[in-house]
Every structure is written in C-alpha cells, then in structure tokens.
Structure 1
C-alpha cells in the first residue's frame, strides 16, 4: 500500500469532479413525452372546464402566451417497469401546477423541476402560467420577449443510491468550501482547476480532517461504486458531528407569496395553489417537515380554486404540521393605511385564523418578513387583537444603523409590549446553505440568553417554498462540525420557548424605522389618493349605519380595501397593471358605498310617523349629515354650518353671512399678493411663495419664504419604485420659472389666489392659496400637470421651529423623530412616513407649525425645515426602463401603460397650514383636521339622523377617529391619543344613550363609564361602545 497522498489541496477539485460524475448518472432511461395543450387564455379556467377543449401538439422551442395567461397541458404516461417509479421532469419558463387524478399535486418552477409520479399514473394535466416563480433561483431566466419558452416534458427513473450520494456529498462539499474560505491565506472563492492550488500548510485541523475524509470517500467511489460511497460519506458525516452544539436553529418551511408585485392578483392566487400543492406533497414524504403560511387571502383563494387541496391543507393543520399564523388578513403595509384600516386587517385576519386553526384559536404571532417599516402603533394593535409575538427580517436591509437586537421586547409608544425576533444577516428566502445558517447564528445577538434562532426556509416572493433537497440537507446538516442543531418547527412554538425569557430581553421602544425604501411613501400617488378615498367612503358608510341603527355586512368591501394594503400594493412597488385594476376597483368601491350611504339616509326617514295624522310618511327635508365623530364646521353653498358629531342638520339651519366682507384677496402691481380673513392673514412674494402667515394674531415663524417647490433628480441606485437615495437631496433645484399671480375667488366668505408656473421640462404647477371666514388655517391646493421622468417634487416650509423633535401622524397616535442634525439615526431619516400630518415646533411644543394633507405620506424635517413630497415619476416596476422587465417583459403585457413612469398626468393635491401647540383645541389639532378638512357632510332628503354623540370634552389630544356599527342600536367609538398626554375626558351623549368600555371589535366590558368619564394615557387606542338604553 502506498503512502497517503500528502497533497490535500487537490481534494476540493477531486470532490467537485465526483459530484459532476454523479449528476450525470442520476437519471436513467430519460425519454421525451408528447405534449398537447389548450390555447393560452387570459382567463384562469378550472380543471373541470377544459376537459373537452381541443388541444394541439406543443414542441420543444415553442413560445406561448401573454403575461399571466393560463394554458392546460396534457401528457400520457407509459407504464413504469415493475417495481420502479417514473419521475416527471417539466421544462418551461413559466411556472406550472401538476394535476394527478384531477387534483393539484406539485408546483413546477426553476427550483422544482422533478417530481415522482404515483404508481399507476397514466396521464397528467399541467396548469401552466406565463409567469415565473422562484425568480431569485440561479436557473431562473425570466420569460422570453415572445412568450414562455417551452423546453419539454420528460420521464425517467431516478437512481436513489446516486441521489443519496449527491445529498451527502453536497452537504460535505458545502462544508468544505465554507471551511476553505476561512483558511489563511484566504484562497479565491471559487475552485481553480489550473495553476497553483491553495496550500493547506497553515490550515485548521477540522479542515484537514474533512479533506482527508472526502479524499477517502472519493477513492472508495472509484474502487467500489456508489453504494460504498454512500456508506463512506455517512460515516464521514457522523465523524464530523458535534455531540453538544451550543445553538439551535428552528427551521420553518416558508414560501413568501407576494399577492401582487410583478404579477396581478389572479396570478398571486395561482401561486398559492402552486405552492400549497408542493407543500402538501412534501408533507406526505417527510414526517419531520413543518410549514407555516400567513395571509388568509391566499387560503381563501385556494379554497375557491382548488377546494380538495384546501381540504388536504386543513388536515395538515389539524395534525399540527402546517401552521396558519400571521395575525393580518394580508401581510400589510403598516405606515400608509389609516389606523382603522390597519385595525381591520387585524380583525379580519384573526377571525380567519381562528376559522382555519379550529381549536387552535386565533394567531398569537404577527408575521411580517417583508414590509417597508413598522408603525409605532403596531404593538398596541397586536395586543388589542390577542397577539403576543412579532417576527420580521426586513430590518436587516437598513443601510446605516444596524438594528441592535435579534430577540427583544418591542414596546409601542403607548407601553404595549410584544416579544419580537428578527433574523440578522439573512432574509426570508433561505436555501439551507451553510453560509446562511452560519450568518443567522452569528447575527443572533441574544444567543447568550436564548440559544435558538428562527430560520425561514424556502423560495419566496413568488412562492414556491422549500424543495426536497432542502429537507434532505437539514437531515444531514444538523450539528455538523460547528453548525447549530437544526430542527423543523413552527414559528409559534419557537416564540413559546422565547416568551419565558422576556424579562431578560432588551427593550426597543417606538417605531422600527427601515432605513431603506423611503420612496414608497410617495410612489403611485394617484393610487394612494384613491385608497384614501376608499377609506373615507367606508368611514362614511359605517358612520351612517351607526346613526341609523343599521349593521350592514361590510366584510367584503373591507377585505378588498385591506387587500390593497398589501406591502407591494399601496406602497407603489407593483407593475402598472396592478394599479390600473386597483384604481378601477377602489373607484367602484367608493361609488358603491356612497350610493349605499344616500339610500340608507333616505330610507331611514321613511316610515316615520306623521305628527299630525300618525300615519307613516317619508320625510323629504333636505339635510346635511356629518359622518365624522368630530364636530364639523364650515361653508356649504354660501352658508355656515356647525354640525355635531355623527348627526344631521336641516339645510335651512345654515347661516348666511352678512354683506360685510370677512375675507379679501388682492394682488399688487409688484406681483406680491395678500389674503385676509377674520382669523388668517397671508402675504405672498412676487414669485408666489408664502412670505408671511398670521393665524389668530400669531405669526408663524418662517425662516425664509415658504411653500417653495423644489424638483429633485431622482435616480435611485437600486430600486426605482421603492427608494429615494440621499444623493437626490443634493440634486434639488428650486422652481424659479416666471409666475402668473391672479385672484381666483373673492366672495364674502372665501378668497383665493392662484400662482401658475411652468415646472421642470414639460409640466405645470398651479398653487391655490385660500382662506375662508371662520377657519384658522391656510388651505393650499396644488394642481400639477406632471410629465417629468425620474424626478421628485417637494414643497418646502422653512421655519425657526428647531426643537429637538418633530411630530408626525401615525395610523393611530403619532411619532416623534429627531430633526437636529448630527446623530446618525436622525441623519438616516431624510425621508419619513407621516399619516397625513406633521408638526415642527419649539421644544415643549408650545409654538409651531402644522402641515396637513389629504392623501400625502412622505415628509422630511431637518433643522426647522418641513417638507412634503407631492409626486415622484419613478420607473414603474417591470416597465421598459426597469431591471425587473426580464421577469415580466413589457412586450408580453396585454396592458400597456401610458408611460413607463409613475403618476404622469393631472393631480389635485390638497394641503393646509395652521399654527400648532400641544394645547390646541381638539377640533384644531392636525389629526382632527386631517379628517374634517377633507370629509364633507353628506346631503340627503329625509329625517334627522344621530348616533347619540355630542362630543368628547376636556381632552384636546384625544381624537375621535371612527364609528363602527356592531349591533342594531349599538356602535363603537374609536379614539386615539395623539400628543403624548394623559388625563380624563368626558363623553357627552344625548339623552337615552349610554357608554361602556369595549374591545377593539366592540364587545362590551365592565364597568360602565361613570358620568361618561374616560381615562386616557399617551397614544392609547380607546374603544367605547355606545348604545341606546
């Protein structure tokens, strides 16, 4: 026997060669199948409906379909040899779902190409889609510009011994390459077959040992073949096992499905069927496998499109191997919806999770791996809906300040606490590579307290989920060398082990701001405006129901609105087709709800007894109904109205102003202009900016002329629809084009001045400044005809209010952020979200400026200067100018957008300015004005309506936000504290009404409110049930 080979440096190349040889021998007797198919159609048709449809033969190299088209393929399977099992291989650029015996069996995509067919299978159908899942897989090519490129269907036998060898050798090869990268001097990351090989003279003992074991196994293969190789590899792996690993990785099968993104909703539903079918099969093969999925919207889609598959999933849930969890109906954006819309996603979601889980009850976990920031009110909404735990990965995308913890207690600004876990160094699409597992282990900052981390595993974004290889690798990787022990488990089981340690965990209080994707607060502003209109329509619909004793079934409309809160929908990061469909659907929702409002108000007056005859007659009195839980004051058709919350007044009660002029507008020859009302004075410079603003006799402390438009070059380095890079702020140019200043309105109660100018290369901006008698604010309306590309438009308001913090509206409550330069955390917040209002002030908030918007969410504040982002003309996702176009080639789209850039065309943007103080009366607080300024009373003919609320008193920062009907004659008043104050408010009710504390969904709690008194504390969301009795 010769001496052992002293040159261990050759082992990596030798091992790689053995792997190549094994792959060549894995598949036996491969043969092509004849494939026939139906015609591609944009409609997604059920399996049962296409059985008799004419089919034509499909050849390798054919291309088919437009984007998201469906096509049904048919294959006949010859009998398998006795004791053997065919494996079907499907090659097509588009994803597909295999049907066996008429049921979804498996999902094909770049990561899932092969599936063993059940014994006796003689024919299969394949539901193909001109769309691709697993787009991050190295074999993902996207689609050709001519359609999905068909590569054929094949059957073959798998050599199971070779398969086992490849799994064993693949794991040891991955370990070898990992250890190799850690040696000194550090070798090149890839093997080189030519030239000097990296020496192992100064290598770690474990690396040398692994090389020796691999070399011996390779020799065994060459001498004795695959069976002996398998045994040698198993022995080598066992020799490298760590008997006492110090960490544990809890792996959960995961398939993140973007309900919309580079595909519309119908394709997101198909991806759910595709993914669920694969997971269903894996569970029949691997008893240790565990899978979790959130989003009840996907479960409903599978129930509708593939009910028998949904029934199988239900059985897995009952067995405890599949866990529905997540809390929300969809993985929602948490920054842009109003507080009530976000709360409804929780309420709808938890009802669905309770249905799906049966005896398991509702979800205890919020699962949000991929959203673009985490609202400060999230922990409170979680606790209000029975949720204790929170998981995400996206904070690892922050680009400047690393989030300091992996396991922690997240405390909202109201004091609500949840136990949170964050994967550090990895995301939510993991493939059981040693590098990923090691990175997650290293990033687990609290491993000294809780030696366990959560590791979502599987292909995501377009679904797909784990593969057989993933599960096989986990079996072999656990506790290998210095790797953690690995075990499949459910997310909630992981958190149940973390929960007892909560008192030892670090605490993070406040929002979790993502230092990335700052453009999503503004992108596709047209859709954000329609979304806000739909929120308002449902708010009005429920207010009318509360005031008229109705409890309409609004689950359907709410689900549709909540669906558009999905984290790639409302942020503006999806393809153009998503917004074309979304704008149309929400437009219809608004129209439908407002029609129902008018019908209900009119019907509520029918059947009232006449005071004269006692006979029932329909009232035809013209009324105005205030749909807000706040008092409404303002002008309608030249009359001044003051309408109590959720109540109506006859139109005739409006006050007609006297002939004495209360407002004036004028333009001087020099071009300067003035507006004056009984409460506001404003002066404009000759170039149309705001030089002076005085409200109730108190000047706003501008440091320079305000309301100046600035256009920024907006070319993000990576994600056009998502990002506003810091460099963009250095590339802004104030708009200084010539202006035309005119008086636009001049009536006894309102006056306005128009400032018109060219904007950028091909656009126009008209700013309309308006004052109205009785209003302590300046309205600003921006009419923008926008035709710029890769530009950002902001309005700037420089002030002397340079206190340490700026206050921004949150969905519920508000959030303080720094504005003084210097601190890295503050500097990283060059664009931030605000729920339609923001204030800058001096320390103590006794004096400042408030900016209110109807439907704008992107702000910035630095050193006293407050800005609001009006529009972005970002490259639309997957448009001709976008790097995602390979996944969704524009040439294949049935929908051709007017422009590859967002928000082209006309926009009307409504804003307002007012003075701000923490002591501002409730109806003048910016959180209240964000509703009252942009929600007009509803005109109708009928009887008076009232929900019994007269007001909320003695609490200037406790803002009534919503009225939610729960039972006939009972409704819930939702309030939220917005100023960080505590106190006792008094609820004023009409005679015959009573109030009790309530849960978020309206269940009454004890004891009743004594004398209508409500104790409130900073940022609390409060629910009060109001009912007759």
Structure 2
C-alpha cells in the first residue's frame, strides 16, 4: 500500500510572548529556541521552520545581533520563514481598530527591513476569536490568506470548514485554512497520531489534496526536536499514512484552490474563553486609553507639524510598539500570571502619560502658547459641543458665561458652542444657560430625580434606575429597573481566567444593599447622584451624572474589589423590541440576534463589543456605551455588561483592588445611525481637551468638515518615509454613497494609499479644499494628503 493523503509540514515554535512567564523570560526563550533550531538545521538539510511576531526578532536585534544574522542567513536560503506580517499575534476581539492596523503596519515594515520580505499569510493559531472587520485590514496590508487553529476548539458547534473564504463586514475576502490535529494542535508531533489524525479530520480534501501541519514544542517555545526530525525520515513515505513534505507556509497557501471554496461571512466566534473579554479589567481600560491617547497625540502633532513644529516619529513609534506588545493574545485577554501584569500596568500607564504630554504640547503650539487663558481642543473628526472640566487653577475669571465648580475643577458646558473636527476654541465665553434648560437634582417620593429639558431619571432607594423618561419622545427607555448589579458564582469547568460557563446565570443574585444615596451636584450644568454599596469585602461607588440638554446618563463606577471566583454584571432591561443588536467592532459593527433559537445563538451568551451596544426600533433606540468594557450579553430587550471577575488561575490576584470606569445609558431618537451612537461613544472615550494657553489664544476652525455619507475617524498622522499626512477614515454605519471632506486649507494633492502607506489606483477627486470619495459599507479609506 502507498501513502494516503498529503501533509505539508512546517517546523514551528509557538512562543507566547508572555503567559506563565514574564516578558523578560520570553526574551531568553527566543534566544534558546532560535539557537536550537539553527543547530538542527545544520544536521537536517530538509528541515524548514516558521516563526511569527516581528517583536521576537526585534528583541533578538537588541539582545543577540549575531544570532539574528544567522537567522537572516537561513531566511535568505529559504529554510527559515518569518510569517504572519504582524508585530505580535494579537488578541483579535478587544484590540481596537487603529491598533490592529498598526500591528500589521509595524510587522510588515520590520520584516521587509530585516529580511526583505512581505508576508501574504496571517499566522494566528492561538487567538480566541476574530472580529469581522479584520479581513479588510489584512488585504490593506498585503495579506490575502489566513491561518488559525482556535476555531476548532468551540464547545458545542463544530466550525463547518477547514478550507474557506473568510468574508468580512465590508465584503473583503481572505483565503483561510485550519487543521484539526487530535494530538497537540498547532504544537504537533511527527507521529501517526498527529499526521494520520490531521489528514483524517481534513474536510477540505475534496477541494485540495494537501493539508498543513505545524510541529514542534510550543507555547513556551522549544520548537522541533531531534526525535521529531528523525521520525520524519522514518514515516514521510510510510504506507497508509499521509505522505509528508517539509515546506513553507506561504508556498502552501499559494497552492490552495480559489474556485469552489465555501465562504464563511462575519466574525469567527469562539465558543470558549468568553471570560477573556473581562478578566484583568485594568489592562483593558489602559488599553482603551492608550489607543485613544496615541491617536490624539498623532493627530495634533501632525497639525502642528504643518505649521513647522517637529513631529515626534520615534517616540510615537516606540509607544505604539509598547501598546502592540501588550495586545498579545495572552496579555490583553487577561490570561497571564501576575508578574506579567505588573509590567503591563507600568508600561501602558507610561504610554498614556507620554501620549498626553505629546498631545498637549502640540495643542499648546497650535493655540499660540503662553499663559493666562484656556483653550479647549476637539480630538474628534466631527464637531462637538463645548463640554470640558478645566483643571484647578485654570483662568475661570475670564469666562463670560456659566460655569460650575466640580470636584476635579470647573465644568463649562455650552451645547450652543461648537468646536470643529480637531479644532480649538478659547474658553472665554460659553454664553448663559437659556431659560428652561439646565439640569437639577432633587428628592421626591419615588426616589432621587435627575432632570433636564429632555430627560427625567429616577434613582430608587435601592440605587438602581427606576425610570428614564424621554421627554422629547414621550416614552420610557427602560421596561424595568436599570443598572441592576448582579453577582454570579464564577467557577468554570476549566481555564479560570479564560472561561465563563453558560450556566453561570443559574447561580446569581442581585446586590441590593445600599450604604447611602446622596446628591453631590445640583446643577445648573451637571447634576449627579452618588450611590455607595458594600458587598462582602468589596465596595461599589457609582455616580449617576446628567448634563444640561443631554440624553446620555453616565454611570461613573469605582469598585474596590476583593472577591474570588465571582462575576459582577450590570443589567439594563430596555423598552426596545428588536430582533438584532448592534455591537461595535473593528471599523464597523457586528449585528447579533437577540434571541437564542439555535445552538449557535445559545452559545453566544457572552459576546464582544468595543465602545457600544445598541438596541433600536426604526424610530427609537437605547445604547449602552462604555470607556473600557468588552463583555456583553443581549437577550430580548435586556443588555448586560460584565464589570469585573475574580479568577484564581493563572493569577490568583486577578482584578484585585481598584477599578474606575464609566458606562452610559444613551436613549436616542431614531435607530442607532440617526441617533448618532458612534459619535456619542467617541465623545465618551475622547473628552475635549482643556489646555492652559495665552490669554489671547487664537481660535482655530476645525481642520476638516465632513458632508454626505458620514465617516468615522481612524488616524491622522505624518506619513512614514514620505512627505504629507495620512488621514484614515471609515464608513461606520453600513451605508454606500458619496462623502466630501472639506479641509481648512487648499489640498495640493490627495492619494488613496493602503495600510502600508503605498499608493493605490482608487480614485479621489480634489477641488480646492475638498476631497470627494465614493465609499462602500464599512470601507476603510487612507488618504495621503499634501496640504
């Protein structure tokens, strides 16, 4: 009997950049593993090996440049294959849109500089699910193929394909392959169990006569062993077993068929590891802050550079790469040991601080500098009403309008004063609060009331939201008490930090005890009610805040957490009847059913969302916004958000201590598009920035104004390796049409570029200060502008 089937083998060392060891140990693992692989290459002439993650090679460049040179020589020979095209193998649910772009941007740039190659295949074997926004980004970075393993780990519903087109939100497709090794998965061995089992499980064999199998000790590195390579010689042509061939990942994918291949559309949801959307909440909050602050620092620095200021390319690059490292798929998801997070907290706090310093320096330059006044900058693409808290000591005596002392400074809030996209205004005259507007807090028989011209909120004696009455629409936003805090026994069958079991709701109870309710701000610009609770050894302080003329009710939350194996969630029963919820994801939204008719839907009891989840009828909706939470449930009309967990393994101190974040209830007219949910979520996450400047600080109109199809903001930065600035925008609502961007100066030229900042042949129309674009649903557009 001859061999049956065919497998292309690729040597592999899955090196988790942190997990059960800190990053410092990973750097040593890289050197040991790479040295071992090179030694085996000297002995086994047909042995080929792949290794992902530009970060690993960048460490080697610092730690052992001679070893990197030996690796580079093997790359030239075609026996060592840098794969993946990304800085690390990143989490692909929590990582933000622009940060995912930078994973590919910095990864591809490093591989091209060091090895002279561009990857066309994404290598992400161990990532816990994938946003539907990712295929478009792969293609934009020159990556047209995709490999993963984790989709085969789902608990209930087997993923239907192992050779397929993966279609993203915008219609982009990448050719994808996975294998199901009954041995050790992506850390395979060259034994009949692994080789025969992988071929037997390959469902795409009617489409293609070969599957892939990676082999080598992994997770902690190590890679292929002498025994594995000796086994290869013994069984590569063994009767009945699949024929084995060493080769390169890129070559394997280049030979895959493209016709007759099935398509899977949307997110690749993993029916496992749902707890990683919540575990290590501080890391997720710092990740969100880092993403927004870096984008702000780049944008204002780019604008300042147009007026002659230097642009801090090197500092921004270093801080982006620090963030990207901490988005590795065992760091950001919360599945590493305590020592890892001691490093991560320090590093991400440094990123935030550095980004704020760069941003504020640029804003000061744009405003004219000096002392004695205050300017307020808008770090968003869209116009924003003036709302800002000026720090203590700011020059408030210059205001001609109304201000309100608050705990952390002076609040100015003037919905009638608008700041254009990336514009500045001098905070000297906010106007008066018109009669009939403003906001107040008062006590009533049915609870404590927060009320402005458009919303009336009742906080009950139990600290929950008993009613949200929308005056403009003459309807209630909730069907029952909102912001119920529920505690659940959280003892997953396995994988403490990773998992939430689907039966968790069977062991839950509401936290009803209240220590106190007090009005802490009475208006006229903002009214606030604080609710304090003690539960077991933990303390919860939540402050409900309502601004004048706003329908957004903020719930500022501080938790001092000291529980283990418990999960805390906030629950909001809305008054909206909708069959689908809208959840923000990478450069778009994922629509998910609100029912659990099938096993696929029942398995999605905890799902990811970035800055908002929305339930809308055609003429009315309710969104739940956040500034650092990612785990949600949506069933019927009820939205739940996971706030904090307390797993024991691998970090027995996970989430221990203080947490500070905000989530917001946002009722709105119309559906989520008409209601401006994307803009409101951006406003919650990117507050207007007050800066002390000269008393005669000049106002600056917005840098850009949009019309036509609305666009969302990705990035504004100086281009790398060429002149001009790069503006990245995207269509956030799923609408097709024409969009016009009008700048505050003449546009000399505008060129569509890809995510690597290289010219494409897509058309752009320039007319004076305006650029006209034809956009398709959820399209990401990068423009190189000469201004």
Q: Flag whether TM exceeds 0.5 (same fold).
A: yes
Q: In 2, Cα distance between the equivalents of 1:945 and 1:722? A: 49
Provide the residue aligned with 1:722 in structure 2.
498
Q: Quick check: 1:690–1:705 contact (8 Å CA) kept in 2?
A: yes
Provide the residue aligned with 1:420 in structure 2.
176
Deviation, 1:391, is: 0.3
Q: Answer with 254-263 or 594-603: which moved more.
A: 594-603
Provide the residue aligned with 1:392 in structure 2.
148
Provide the residue aligned with 1:863 in structure 2.
636
Q: In 2, Cα distance between the equivalents of 1:959 and 1:481? A: 58
Task: Choose from 530, 546, 549 the match for 1:771.
Answer: 546
Alignment of 1:70-81 (within 5 A): none
Cα deviation, 1:1-41, whole Å, max 9, x if unaligned, reads xxxxxxxxxxxxxxxxxxxxxxxxxxxxxxxxxxxxxxxxx
Q: Quick check: 2:134–2:586 contact (8 Å CA) kept in 1?
A: no
Provide the residue aligned with 2:403 in structure 1.
none
Cα deviation, 1:529-559, whole Å, max 9, x if unaligned, reads 1122211221121011122125321211111
Provide the residue aligned with 2:238 in structure 1.
480
Provide the residue aligned with 1:371 in structure 2.
127
Alignment of 1:403-802 (within 5 A): 403-426=159-182, 427-498=185-256, 501-549=257-305, 550-553=310-313, 554-604=316-366, 622-636=374-388, 637-640=411-414, 641-657=417-433, 662-670=438-446, 672-695=447-470, 697-698=472-473, 699-738=475-514, 740-759=516-535, 761-802=536-577
Q: In 2, Cα distance between the equivalents of 1:486 and 1:738? A: 66
Provide the residue aligned with 2:57 in structure 1.
299
Q: In 2, Cα distance between the equivalents of 1:597 and 1:479? A: 62
Q: Quick check: 1:830–1:861 contact (8 Å CA) kept in 2?
A: yes
Q: Quick check: 1:396–1:425 contact (8 Å CA) kept in 2?
A: no
Cα deviation, 1:567-620, whole Å, max 9, x if unaligned, reads 0111111111111111111112222222222333334566xxxxxxxxxx9687
Deviation, 1:324, is: 0.5
Q: In 1, Cα distance between the equivalents of 2:427 and 2:472? A: 32
Provide the residue aligned with 1:1000 in structure 2.
755
Provide the residue aligned with 2:603 in structure 1.
828
Q: Quick check: 1:661–1:749 contact (8 Å CA) kept in 2?
A: no
Cα deviation, 1:980-1011, whole Å, max 9, x if unaligned, reads 22222221222423544332244455643255
Q: In 2, Cα distance between the equivalents of 1:412 and 1:384? A: 13
Judged with a 3 Å threshold, the aligned counterparts in structure 2 of structure 1 residues 373 and 916 are, in CA distance, closer, same or farther, namely farther
Q: Quick check: 2:54–2:85 contact (8 Å CA) kept in 1?
A: no
Provide the residue aligned with 2:730 in structure 1.
976
Provide the residue aligned with 2:397 in structure 1.
none
Deviation, 1:669, is: 4.4
Q: Quick check: 2:19–2:331 contact (8 Å CA) kept in 1?
A: yes
Alignment of 1:108-123 (within 5 A): none
Cα deviation, 1:907-950, whole Å, max 9, x if unaligned, reads 2220111125675567x533322221232233142554869633
Deviation, 1:264, is: 0.9
Judged with a 3 Å threshold, the aligned counterparts in structure 2 of structure 1 residues 972 and 680 are, in CA distance, closer, same or farther, namely farther
Provide the residue aligned with 1:169 in structure 2.
none
Provide the residue aligned with 1:141 in structure 2.
none
Provide the residue aligned with 2:773 in structure 1.
1014
Deviation, 1:296, is: 0.9
Q: In 2, Cα distance between the equivalents of 1:969 and 1:936? A: 30
Deviation, 1:955, is: 2.6
Provide the residue aligned with 2:581 in structure 1.
806
Alignment of 1:888-927 (within 5 A): 900-916=652-668, 925-927=676-678
Q: In 2, Cα distance between the equivalents of 1:678 and 1:661? A: 5
Judged with a 3 Å threshold, the aligned counterparts in structure 2 of structure 1 residues 920 and 429 are, in CA distance, closer, same or farther, namely closer
Deviation, 1:653, is: 4.1
Deviation, 1:978, is: 2.6
Judged with a 3 Å threshold, the aligned counterparts in structure 2 of structure 1 residues 853 and 314 are, in CA distance, closer, same or farther, namely same
Cα deviation, 1:187-236, whole Å, max 9, x if unaligned, reads xxxxxxxxxxxxxxxxxxxxxxxxxxxxxxxxxxxxxxxxxxxxxxxxxx
Unaligned runs of 5+ in 1: 1-241, 607-616, 880-899
Q: Quick check: 1:547–1:947 contact (8 Å CA) kept in 2?
A: no
Cα deviation, 1:420-476, whole Å, max 9, x if unaligned, reads 001124411111121121221121111011011000000000000001111111111
Judged with a 3 Å threshold, the aligned counterparts in structure 2 of structure 1 residues 959 and 338 are, in CA distance, closer, same or farther, namely same
Q: Quick check: 2:387–2:688 contact (8 Å CA) kept in 1?
A: no
Provide the residue aligned with 1:61 in structure 2.
none
Provide the residue aligned with 1:937 in structure 2.
688
Deviation, 1:959, is: 1.8
Q: In 1, Cα distance between the equivalents of 2:203 and 2:619? A: 41
Q: Quick check: 1:807–1:817 contact (8 Å CA) kept in 2?
A: yes
Unaligned runs of 5+ in 2: 389-410
Provide the residue aligned with 2:705 in structure 1.
951
Q: Could you say which structure has the greater relative contact order, defined with CA pairs below 8 angstroms and 6 or more residues apart?
A: 2
Deviation, 1:645, is: 0.7
Q: In 1, Cα distance between the equivalents of 2:366 and 2:774? A: 35
Alignment of 1:306-385 (within 5 A): 306-358=64-116, 361-385=117-141
Q: Quick check: 1:628–1:962 contact (8 Å CA) kept in 2?
A: no
Deviation, 1:765, is: 1.9
SS at match of 2:521: strand
Q: Quick check: 1:851–1:913 contact (8 Å CA) kept in 2?
A: yes
Query: Does 2:627 match 1:854?
Result: yes
Q: In 1, Cα distance between the equivalents of 2:619 and 2:263? A: 30
Judged with a 3 Å threshold, the aligned counterparts in structure 2 of structure 1 residues 934 and 303 are, in CA distance, closer, same or farther, namely closer
Aligned positions, number: 745
Deviation, 1:356, is: 3.1
Q: Quick check: 1:548–1:945 contact (8 Å CA) kept in 2?
A: no
Q: In 1, Cα distance between the equivalents of 2:49 and 2:430? A: 62
Query: Does 2:716 match 1:963?
Result: yes
Q: In 2, Cα distance between the equivalents of 1:506 and 1:639? A: 54
Deviation, 1:507, is: 0.5
SS at match of 1:638: strand
Cα deviation, 1:643-695, whole Å, max 9, x if unaligned, reads 1111111121433435766111112245x122111222212333222222234
Q: What is the TM-score normalised by the length of structure 2? A: 0.91
Deviation, 1:621, is: 5.3
Q: Answer with 501-510 or 775-784: which moved more.
A: 775-784
Deviation, 1:253, is: 0.1
Provide the residue aligned with 1:873 in structure 2.
646
Q: In 2, Cα distance between the equivalents of 1:251 and 1:509? A: 29
Provide the residue aligned with 2:616 in structure 1.
841
Judged with a 3 Å threshold, the aligned counterparts in structure 2 of structure 1 residues 674 and 407 are, in CA distance, closer, same or farther, namely same
Q: Quick check: 2:616–2:670 contact (8 Å CA) kept in 1?
A: no
Deviation, 1:696, is: 5.6
Task: Choose from 253, 270, 278 the match for 2:11.
Answer: 253
Judged with a 3 Å threshold, the aligned counterparts in structure 2 of structure 1 residues 580 and 547 are, in CA distance, closer, same or farther, namely same
Q: In 2, Cα distance between the equivalents of 1:327 and 1:946? A: 40
Judged with a 3 Å threshold, the aligned counterparts in structure 2 of structure 1 residues 436 and 1026 are, in CA distance, closer, same or farther, namely same
Q: What is the TM-score normalised by the length of structure 1? A: 0.70
Q: Quick check: 2:673–2:733 contact (8 Å CA) kept in 1?
A: no
Q: Quick check: 1:255–1:460 contact (8 Å CA) kept in 2?
A: yes
